[in-house]
Structure 1
Amino acid sequence: MTIQEAQQTVDQWIHEYGVRYFSELTNMAVLTEEVGELAKIIACRYGEQSWKATDERAKDNGKAALGDEMADVLWVLLCLANQTGIDLTEELQKSIEKKTSRDKDRHHNNPKLKE
């Protein structure tokens, strides 16, 4: 599935099952919530944070939930793009071009990355 197809699929789902989009402000809050849930899994799986005894995601050290939360973040981001008329394929291409132009030597010259 391309990014454009993903945007279209989310839009179709919203209109068929979701009634309408939440407001942009609500979706921004939901995106923040989903990023927080993703951060919690990463902090427990890869960082020093420990799982709560009642957290079901601890069973497989968050592996199953990791992809699920990433997909939730992407879903809400696609919603926001649709609501605001943003073509994420186009914007991602522009971002790649910007980063390539700006940072083409930066990371190769970063001694911290050579360790």
Structure 2
Amino acid sequence: MTIEEAQKEVDQWINTYGVRYFNELTNMTILTEEVGELARVMARKYGDQSFKEGEKDNIADELTDILWVLLCIANQTGVDLTKSFKDNLVKKTQRDNKRHISNHKLNSNKDEQ
């Protein structure tokens, strides 16, 4: 599925089952909440915290929840994420094409840091 197809699928789902989009501010708040849920799982899986009883490692589901809300926000604000992503990739490539390669922190052995 392409990004364009995903945007269309979300729009179709919203218009069929969701009645309407939540307003932009509500979706921004939901996005923040979903990122927090991902952060909780990451802290337990990769950080020093442990999972509480009943919690599970559901990184894929949390990432997909974030993607869903991002697609909603893009749809309701008229952003073509396919075009925007391509433009952003060009921007990053032009800006950072030597930056990371010449970063000694990224290229040195971790034991030397």
d(CA) in 2 for partners of 1:113, 1:13:
42
Task: Report deviation, 1:48.
Answer: 1.4
Could you tell me which of 74, 77, 98 is aligned with 1:81? 74
Which residue in 2 is equivalent to 1:55? 54
d(CA) in 1 for partners of 2:51, 2:101:
37
d(CA) in 2 for partners of 1:75, 1:94:
21
Which residue in 2 is equivalent to 1:16? 16
Which residue in 1 is equivalent to 2:91? 98
TM-superposition CA deviations, 1:47-97 (whole Å, max 9, x none): 112222x3331xxxx1xx110000000000000000000000011111100
Which residue in 2 is equivalent to 1:71? 64
Question: Which runs of no fewer than 5 residues in structure 2 stay unpaired?
Answer: none
Structure 1 vs Structure 2: percent identity of aligned residues?
60
Runs of 4+ with deviation above 6 angstroms:
none
The RMSD of aligned alpha carbons is 0.8
With structure 1 as the length reference, what TM-score do the two structures score? 0.91
Paired residue type of 1:78 = L
Which residue in 2 is equivalent to 1:28? 28
SS in 1 for 2:22: coil
d(CA) in 2 for partners of 1:104, 1:41:
32
d(CA) in 2 for partners of 1:94, 1:56:
39
